[in-house]
Amino acid sequence: MKNNRTNESDSSPFVRWWKSGKIQKVSRITYDVVWNFILFFLIIGVVGAFFAVGLGAGYFASLVKDEPIRSHASMEQDIYNYEETSELYFAGEQFLGKVRSDLYREGVTLDDISTYAKDAVISTEDEYFDTHNGVVPKAILRAIFQEVSNSSSQSGGSTLTQQLIKNQILTNEVSFERKAKEILLALRLENFFQKDEILEAYLNVVPFGRNASGRNIAGVETAAQGIFGVTAKELNLPQSAFIAGLPQAPSVYTPFTNSGELKSEEQLEPGLSKMELVLERMLEAETISKQEYKDALSYDLVADFTNAQPSSIEKYPFLTQELQERSKDIIASQLANEDGYSEKDLNENDDLYAQYRDLAEHSLRNDGYIIHSTINKEIYEKHQEVVANYNNYGPANTINPTTGEAYDEPQPVEAGSMMIENRTGKIISFTGGRDFNRQQLNHATQAFRSAGSTAKPTLVYAPGIELGAVQPGSVIADIPVPEYGDGGLSNYGGRFHGFTSARNALAYSYNVPAVKTYMDIMNQNPGSYYEKMGIELETDQLPSLALGSKEVSVEQNVNSYATFGNMGKYVESYMIEKIETKEGEVVYEHKEKTNDVFSPQTSYLTIDMMRDVLDYGTARGASTYLENQGVDWAGKTGTSQNYRDTWFVATNPNVTIGSWMGYDTEASLTNGYSARNVEFWSRLVNAAGDVNQELVEPSASFTQPSGIVSRSYCAVSGDLPSQLCGDFGLVKSDIYNVNHVPTKQDNSLLQTNSVTINGKSYIAGERTPTEFTNGGIYLNPDFLKENNYSNSDLQYLIPNNEKWSNVLIPSTSDVPADNGAPAPPTGVSVNGNAISWGSSGSADVVGYRIYRSEFTGGNFSLAGSTTGNSLNVSAGSGVYMVRAVDYYGNESSASNQASLGNVTKPTPEEPKNKEDNEGDNPINDNTEEPPEDPPEEEEPPEDEEPPEDEEPPEEPNEDNNGNENGNDGNNGSNSGNGSNNNNSGNNSSGNEGNSRSGQGDENNNKKQDND
């Protein structure tokens, strides 16, 4: 029974249900179903994951399929090839500034960067920089999710490595393709480079907003200097934290506006808040302590912001622009040469030239060159001060000379200058203009203006001396040159100066002698000398070139004059000494380019002539302003057509300095322009001398080379002086090339007699009656003919100088000849004590003889002679008649007779006896011998009309009771001939026809208003 109870208890419903196995079966089925379900989804998930990964990998592969596999060398070149601004230097390694660029960057090594700055950048930009391999996966997934979900929060997923790739190899394009390439290249970069190398490159590449001048900057060194005025190594903690926050939003966080002004407190707040966030991250990363954190938060960072510093283009605009342009030319030429093109190819192909200029500009802005110039910083700055402070440029022009309309703004007189070292060609200094902001044209290097009279030494006299055609003592007649054309040729003021030396002509800048000299050598290629000095001519067959019609720059003109200072050797001017890379590799170094242009003898002779320009010539005013009077300067002024340009260029044994003034329009300068420019030049010299007197104002003078001798010459002909030339004080001396001294004896003067015929003076002949001649010193007619001086030239030949006052000029024409006795004078009449008559009709009459008889029918005797048409008589009453006398001594028949007073013949008294008449002079008995001439009633000669029918003579100019004083001659000519006194003492004194020019002055000390 007991066993039965036990079995009944064991057979409870739960046990029985359990033992029945139903629950196990159900659980097993459920488990199997759930497990299978889970397993299904696991398999699906894994498969899906693999599919997704495969799909993603395939997509990633498709995105980067075109990206080349980059080598270590290729990536190194790309990563470290960040744009770096080129730097400019004065001579002597003095920093000038940076090349003008859209982005300023200066590279620096990691060792020269503050530890604070490095830690700050890593803490805020890439906290896992030290541990990742170029990318942070979770950051990438986060960025992808935010992009797919279009989340408003975009935290970014780029490491420093990825940012470096983006900046240096890829672009800023927002796309999955660019991101995929960025990831791939970042992984590869981390495999090739150390972390420090990557960090250094990043810190030199990343943009940091604007500097205190408002310019865009990149690189931590440029940021440190441009924002705080310190180097990257000197950055403290708060400065480092502020700079580290800038790259995420440079334009927002930068403390300066684009004009360089410090932002307001409100505008500065975002940048300062970012700095605090950077400090927090540095604290979290344990790169700074809590105390450092607190100190940095309380630091007055705003007080550290630097003041605006002018850039080189602001402080030295003309110089910076010029150095950049010259550097571009050099780099363009080098790049072209590397590609197989020559400089000639560039010059002949504008498109090719433009292409390589663009490449050179990009290289100059981005490749970080160090450009060394020849410019002396102190002298250059002093010269800019002269330009700014000089107040005598002349008035601004208000009227457009072409249209006649008023300008909106007055146009000021512009100025340009340059100083070149003769021996080397170095450009020591220059001034480009008065205001770069108003006019960017560099008037020293880019403006080409007519050279004016500064061309006379370089293109006329020096070539003429070199060719043996002229020497300083050569005499040139400054007279009109009709063959010049275009209305003829004249000097300043329209005057002529007669016989003058080449030296004097250059000192006073006479135009005519310069043109005549140039025309004498024009067929000997004088332009070749100009071209040897770097000035190209289209043709040298234009006489106007002698007066500076060729347009040149200040640099070209000064460089040509430096040839004289270098004793005939031209050294091409230059401004770029060398160009090198940041690493010190020299990519360009100037090589001297020279030409032997003139001999030392020619150079010295030209220099000696140009000394007189400053001593007594057109630049004599320089002595008023030059502080050092002991410098051996030689130079030339110049004025162009219509007074549009004024020049002065002068050289000494060391340097050559030239200055120019003029309007940028075609307006003419006002009176006093040359003196104003000479003063400007003088102040430039003084300023440079204050800086470097040894260079600019040497104590040594030019050394006279061998082959130079001194010789005397006659100032009329330039030949060896004759005794007559010396007697009249017309001998001068000068220096010559020994091979071209005067050898011919002077024959220009004659001491003889002359006569006046119809207002012209002729040398008296052997038969010419001396009573009608004037004795004196005359220009030899043979000399005048040899030199092709025409009668129209004669009035201009004699200078208006006391030494020349006794030199008279005879006509070069042949003496008129009537082949026989001259025609008698006509219309003899008496007025008071004056006898007057009309001129003879013959062409060779030299004077008149007046005869008197005491009474009608009496004997006639000579009462006087004259070259005029009247004579005062003192013999009293009588009958008078006149005869004309010609050049050859022939006397005409008698004129009509005229009576003065009582001319009735007295009745003779009867002698008391024959003895009373003994001893009487029979010549007094007019009945004894008839007069030589017929009485008044006699028939006139067959070859003349009766006096009463003849045309009345022109009335002479009379004064002093009939004594004629003519003043015949143009342009101030004073006649000088008159008849000699005859025995009666009643000759008139004439001044007809001995032409003496009043135009010139050989006196070196006479003030001339000429350029």
pLDDT tens-place string over residues 198-230: 888 889 888 898 888 888 888 999 999 999 999
pLDDT for residue 154 is more than 60: no
Q: Determine the Cα–Cα distance for residues 387 and 683; give it in Å rounded to an integer.
A: 9
pLDDT for residue 66 is more than 80: no
798 and 727 together in one domain? no
Give me the pLDDT at residue 400, please.
87
465 and 574 together in one domain? yes
790 and 855 together in one domain? no
pLDDT for residue 698 is more than 60: yes
Burial degree of 843 (CB within 10 A; 0-12, 13-18, 19+):
middle
Q: 996: pLDDT confidence band, cut at 50, 70 and 90?
A: very low
For residues 882 and 825, the answer to whether their CB atoms sit within 8 Å is yes
Q: What does the pLDDT average to over 465-476?
A: 97
* 8-state DSSP, 457: I
- The pair of structure tokens assigned to 181 is 């390439």
501 and 481 together in one domain? yes
Compare 965 and 843 and report the one with higher pLDDT: 843
The region of weakest confidence among 708-712, 791-795, 993-997 is: 993-997
Number of domains in the chain: 6
* 8-state DSSP, 193: S
Main-chain phi, psi angles of 663, to 5 degrees: -85, 155
Q: Determine the Cα–Cα distance for residues 571 and 594; give it in Å rounded to an integer.
A: 4
**Structural domain includes residue 206:** yes
| H/E element, 350 | helix 350-366
Give me the pLDDT at residue 1003, please.
38
Main-chain phi, psi angles of 198, to 5 degrees: -65, -45
| pLDDT tens sequence across 250-277 | 889 999 988 888 999 899 999 999 999 9
Of 641, 650, 647, give the one whose Cα is nearest residue 659.
647
612 and 652 together in one domain? yes
Q: Determine the Cα–Cα distance for residues 947 and 797; give it in Å rounded to an integer.
A: 42
Give me the pLDDT at residue 745, please.
96
Of 231, 642, 224, 730, give the one whose Cα is nearest residue 452.
642
Give me the pLDDT at residue 166, please.
75
849 and 779 together in one domain? no
Q: Determine the Cα–Cα distance for residues 263 and 240; give it in Å rounded to an integer.
A: 19
543 and 617 together in one domain? yes
Q: What does the pLDDT average to over 133-154?
A: 60
Q: 60: pLDDT confidence band, cut at 50, 70 and 90?
A: very low
User: How far, in Å, are 376, 453, 669, 676, 678 from residue 672 at the CA level?
Assistant: 32, 16, 8, 6, 10
Give me the pLDDT at residue 813, please.
84
560 and 675 together in one domain? yes
Q: Determine the Cα–Cα distance for residues 509 and 646; give it in Å rounded to an integer.
A: 13
Share of the chain above pLDDT 90, in %: 54
Q: 63: pLDDT confidence band, cut at 50, 70 and 90?
A: very low
| pLDDT tens sequence across 969-988 | 333 333 333 333 333 333 33
Instruction: Give the number of other CB atoms < 10 A from CB of residue 896.
Output: 20
pTM reported for the whole predicted model:
0.75
Q: Of 5, 40, 65, which residue sits at a domain end?
A: 65
**Structural domain includes residue 821:** no
The region of weakest confidence among 139-153, 368-382, 704-718, 899-913 is: 139-153
Main-chain phi, psi angles of 999, to 5 degrees: -100, -30
The mean pLDDT of the chain is: 82
Give me the pLDDT at residue 912, please.
47
pLDDT for residue 759 is more than 90: no
| H/E element, 10 | helix 2-10
pLDDT for residue 156 is more than 80: no
- 600: which residues sit within 8 A by CB, 6+ positions away? 567, 568, 705, 707
Q: 41: pLDDT confidence band, cut at 50, 70 and 90?
A: low
Q: Determine the Cα–Cα distance for residues 98 and 218; give it in Å rounded to an integer.
A: 14
**Structural domain includes residue 862:** yes
Give me the pLDDT at residue 814, please.
86
Give me the pLDDT at residue 711, please.
97
The region of weakest confidence among 379-383, 584-588, 901-905 is: 901-905
Q: 490: pLDDT confidence band, cut at 50, 70 and 90?
A: confident
Q: What does the pLDDT average to over 918-932?
A: 38
Give me the pLDDT at residue 928, please.
36
For residues 293 and 336, the answer to whether their CB atoms sit within 8 Å is no
Q: Of 859, 885, 900, which residue sits at a domain end?
A: 900
pLDDT for residue 595 is more than 70: yes
Q: What does the pLDDT average to over 589-595?
A: 96
**Structural domain includes residue 786:** yes
678 and 557 together in one domain? yes
**Cross-strand pairs, 866:** 848
Q: Is 727 helix (H, G, I), strand (E, B) or coil?
A: helix
Q: 149 — alpha (psi -120 to 50), left (phi > 0) or beta? A: alpha
**Cross-strand pairs, 153:** none
Main-chain phi, psi angles of 649, to 5 degrees: -130, 130
**Structural domain includes residue 121:** no
Buried b (16+ CB within 10 A) or exposed e, 962-994: bbbbbebbeeebbbbbbbbebebebbbbbbbbb
- The pair of structure tokens assigned to 787 is 């030199």
Q: Strand locations in 696-811, DSSP E?
A: 708-714, 731-737, 749-757, 760-763, 774-779, 807-808
680 and 660 together in one domain? yes
* 8-state DSSP, 81: -
Give me the pLDDT at residue 376, please.
98
**Cross-strand pairs, 926:** none
Give me the pLDDT at residue 583, please.
84
Q: 403: pLDDT confidence band, cut at 50, 70 and 90?
A: confident
Question: Can you give the residue range of the structural domain that contains 257?
Answer: 101-116+193-310
**CA torsion, ordered 537, 538, 543, 548, to nearest 10 deg:** -40
Q: What does the pLDDT average to over 931-957?
A: 36
pLDDT for residue 107 is more than 70: yes
User: How far, in Å, are 163, 209, 263, 943 from residue 251 at the CA level?
Assistant: 18, 5, 12, 116
**CATH number of the domain that residue 592 is part of:** 3.40.710.10
**Structural domain includes residue 430:** yes
Q: Determine the Cα–Cα distance for residues 521 and 456; give it in Å rounded to an integer.
A: 13
**Structural domain includes residue 764:** yes
Q: 790: pLDDT confidence band, cut at 50, 70 and 90?
A: confident
519 and 568 together in one domain? yes
Buried b (16+ CB within 10 A) or exposed e, 234-254: ebbbbbbbbbbbbbeebeebb
**Structural domain includes residue 383:** no
* 8-state DSSP, 971: T
Give me the pLDDT at residue 22, please.
61
Q: Determine the Cα–Cα distance for residues 207 and 953; give it in Å rounded to an integer.
A: 105
For residues 651 and 635, the answer to whether their CB atoms sit within 8 Å is yes
Q: What does the pLDDT average to over 753-758?
A: 90
465 and 613 together in one domain? yes
Compare 123 and 150 and report the one with higher pLDDT: 123
The region of weakest confidence among 164-168, 599-603, 894-898 is: 164-168
**CATH number of the domain that residue 841 is part of:** 2.60.40.10
User: How far, in Å, are 614, 655, 656 from residue 631 at the CA level?
Assistant: 11, 11, 12
Angle at 791 between CA 718 and CA 482, to 5 degrees: 80
Q: Is 763 helix (H, G, I), strand (E, B) or coil?
A: strand
Q: 23: pLDDT confidence band, cut at 50, 70 and 90?
A: low
| H/E element, 612 | helix 600-615
Q: Of 275, 310, 345, which residue sits at a domain end?
A: 310
Site of tokens 């500076």: 548
Q: What does the pLDDT average to over 540-548?
A: 92
- 920: which residues sit within 8 A by CB, 6+ positions away? none
* 8-state DSSP, 74: H
Of 950, 995, 689, give the one whose Cα is nearest residue 826.
950
Angle at 892 between CA 889 and CA 898, to 5 degrees: 130
Residue 584: what residue type?
A: G
Q: Is 746 helix (H, G, I), strand (E, B) or coil?
A: coil
